[in-house]
Amino acid sequence: GQNIDQPTEMTATEGAIVQINCTYQTSGFNGLFWYQQHAGEAPTFLSYNVLDGLEEKGRFSSFLSRSKGYSYLLLKELQMKDSASYLCASSSGSARQLTFGSGTQLTVLP
């Protein structure tokens, strides 16, 4: 089965750093993805991890620990436009299907 947990809501201040955690239990796991979704729009890819460790892409970084079933997304130098839902998704099986967590609604305040 698949189970993914992430916080429902987070609030942070413009210019700050925020970390969004995700825990997962996934059979046939082959990777962990982070997507950003603004209201009424499609999810857009941010980052993914296959192996343990940190992946850095500009202001966004993602970390994975396969043994702990744990990942986080780190957003630096927050901007107002970063206010969105952040979806953690595990990839599994030969078809690489994604199972999404419920999403973390991030609000960036001035």
Count CB-CB contacts under 10 A for residue 25: 12
The b-or-e profile of 26-47 (16+ CB within 10 A means b, else e) is beebebbbbbbbeeeeebeebb
Residue 5 or 14 with smaller CB distance to another protein = 5
Taking the complex as a whole, the smallest distance from the CB of residue 6 to another protein amounts, in Å, to: 10
What does the radius of gyration of the chain's CA atoms come to, in whole angstroms? 13
- Select 17 or 45, whichever has its Cβ closest to another protein: 45
Alpha-carbon gap, residue 102 to 83, rounded angstroms:
16
How near is the Cβ of 48 to another protein at its closest, in Å? Answer: 6
Footprint on this chain of another protein (rule: CB under 8 A) = 30-33, 35, 41-45, 48-50, 87, 89, 91, 94-103
In angstroms, give the least distance from the CB of 87 to another protein: 6
Could you tell me the smallest distance in angstroms from the CB atom of residue 39 to another protein? 9
CA 32 to centroid of chain Cα atoms: 8
Comparison of 75 and 90: residue with beta carbon closer to another protein:
90
Pick the closer one to another protein by CB: 50 or 109: 50
Is the separation of the CB atoms in 60 and 73 below 8 Å?
A: yes
